[in-house]
Chain A
Amino acid sequence: MMDAISISKARLRFGQTIALDDVSLAIPQGTCFGIVGESGSGKTTLMRAILGLQKLDQGDVCILGMPLSHSRAALKKRARVLQPIFQDPAASLSPRSRIRTLMGEVATVLNEPLAVTYERLGVILNRLGLPKGILDKYPHEISGGQARRVAIARALLMKPSILIADEPTAGLDVSVQGDLLNLLQDIRQLENMTLVVISHNLAVVRLIAENAVVMRAGKAVESGDVASMFQSPRDAYTRELLSAWPRLRVE
């Protein structure tokens, strides 16, 4: 089966900083892939390159075997396959539009009757535990947690087969973090979705991802199967990350 996303020899620098340094990855379809690493290691830049929001200096990105193109036709095609969930979900909702308007845009893009889109939306809102009334609100009238769900709902409404989430649990209390993670797990199971999760939370990535890459200073220092990576890390930096992680052990 062809890979959902493959990146070969991606290089990118911003002035003096090397944001991506010869990164190559393959993300198989239907799996969850974790991107971990400290802040500034290039995780978000890698996501933006995959989305086509950031042009690479060198290297290629392929989505389902198709090389990334910046033409409008290609963008339209890609939007039905690949959807992002940005790090600050409240900021990813247009501030002067009602949620209903934002959801309605999906119908236009998919060329689908509005009624059909709203019917699918009803199912999605239900599953995400969002009340219907939220559609009449503006983004600043809902809570941060709800905004996160609205952003996910909108992405799901596009019926993508690949979802990329940047730090989906950052800033959440543990009591609500689990809720979001369970949701992502459900989405994967029900839709056979490919999920790419960027996170600095190693413990979480270990439990939800089949494969992962560890980034440092723009380099992919170690990548592969999560189980073996966490059990016997090959790279010194991976070992350092793992040993620094606070443990909850009972003596």
Chain B
Amino acid sequence: MAISVRNLSVDYNLSHVTAHALRDISLEIGKGEILGLVGESGSGKSTVAFALMGLLANNAKVTSGTATIGGRSYDLTRRDATAPLRGRGMAMIFQDPMLSLNPVFTVGTQLCEVLRRRLPGGDRKAHVAMAEEALAKVKLSDPKRRMGQYPHELSGGMRQRVVIAMALLSEPVLLIADEPTTALDVTVEAQIMREIVSLRDRIGCAVLLITHSLGLVTEYCDRISVLYAGERLEHGTVKQVQQQPGHPYTRMLFDCEVAIDRQRAVNVTENRFTVIPGELPDPFRRPSGCIFNGRCDVSFDACATTVPDEFAVGDAADHGARCLLLAGS
């Protein structure tokens, strides 16, 4: 495994209470693999990304967790544990590209800065050439002119391409993309996703794609991890999980997704949509038993009292889910 994260737990301290945002999350991403981390908003996806990058808010505390990145191990409970990796071993793409771009510097300056950090003492001319090449690789039109432009002169999709070019130049071992296309239109979304895939192909890095769209995961990812209220309920290859969801939540999530080729009743008022009834559990006091208990459609008595371990789904060793229904098999 190129990347692995073990037992990551993160708390947010509010004035009187502590919100447990993540509980014992583990992730594995192979070299050159794209892992889709899915979950509803508030499930803790961004917290995973920020904990890895060392960018958590001041009121956050990592209570446990280690990461292995590029063969070295990092203790995530130490603030700045992964600071040496920022900009070199790890790169991040945010939903808002302006979080990665400095509005007062030109695109060229910022790209060259990335190179200066990765290849200190390099030749400035060579850097400019590499930066231009990177812009061309992410299919930004007219790279020469873009080098001299400021971020505000570019559209949202173009800015995201610049951020991808920056990631490309930093040649990371791990690329984290947190909802990189949520603010973009479908056509641009497809283009940006293709650029992320081709970046992976070029430098063979591991990619953590954070998204709430199962469509994106099934289309572009190799593996999937399902997050719910700060816990990982299921993980496996996309194919395994899609064909045989091990956790009822995963199944319900897939049922909710509206596919573009779904059966359409001619009388459109007859088309109904799937819902997961109920609400997210209280983040301040974890209910006993399975975290998904209150909303599950196949729960039984033991679900209210026993916290399920992770069980293998089917015979695949790398497909697991935390559901008591799997205990017997």
Contacts and interface: CB of A to CB of B under 8 A. Distances in A.
B141 interface: no
Interface in A148-179: 173-179
Given A174-B253, A202-B186, A250 B268 contact: no
Interface stretch (B80-88, B114-122, B214-222): B214-222
A206 B273 contact: no
A243 B219 CA distance: 12
A118 to B, nearest CB: 28
B15 interface: no
Interface string B201-212: 000000000001
A189 interface: yes
B55 interface: no
Contacts of B213: 246
Interface stretch (A8-16, A48-56, A119-127, A180-188): A180-188
A245 B186 contact: yes
B329 interface: no
A244 B260 contact: no
A81 interface: no
B268 A210 contact: yes
B interface residue count range (under 10 / 10 to 19 / 20 to 34 / 35 or more): 35 or more
A249 B218 contact: yes
Contact of B275 (A178, A188, A209, A247): A178
Contact of A208 (B188, B219, B268): B268
B271 A185 contact: yes
B243 interface: yes
B252 interface: yes
Given A182-B273, A208-B271, A202 B260 contact: yes
A200 B216 contact: no
Nearest to B193: A246
B136 interface: no
Given A200-B186, A241-B187, A244-B186, A178 B273 contact: yes
A25 to B, nearest CB: 18
B259 interface: yes
Given A206-B260, A209-B268, A227-B266, A246 B275 contact: no
A207 B258 contact: yes
Contacts of B215: 245-248
B51 to A, nearest CB: 22
A223 to B, nearest CB: 16
A184 to B, nearest CB: 10
A167 B259 CA distance: 18
B63 interface: no
Given A175-B275, A182-B275, A246-B213, A204 B258 contact: yes
Which of B213, B218, B268 has the largest number of chain A CB atoms within 10 A? B268
Contacts of A203: 258-260, 262
Nearest to A180: B273
Contacts of B268: 32, 207-210, 226
Contact of B274 (A178, A188, A240): A178
A209 B213 CA distance: 22
Contacts of B189: 244, 246
A107 B204 CA distance: 65
Which of A181, A242, A246, A247 has the largest number of chain B CB atoms within 10 A? A246
Contacts of B239: 250-251
B243 to A, nearest CB: 6
B254 A248 contact: yes
A175 to B, nearest CB: 4
Interface string A207-242: 111100000000000000011001000000000111
A244 B262 CA distance: 16
B144 to A, nearest CB: 26
Given A38-B187, A174-B253, A247-B218, A181 B273 contact: yes
Interface of A: 32, 38-39, 173-179, 181-182, 185, 188-189, 200-204, 206-210, 226-227, 230, 240-251
11 contacts: A175-B40, A176-B275, A178-B256, A178-B273, A179-B275, A182-B275, A230-B260, A244-B187, A246-B216, A246-B219, A248-B218
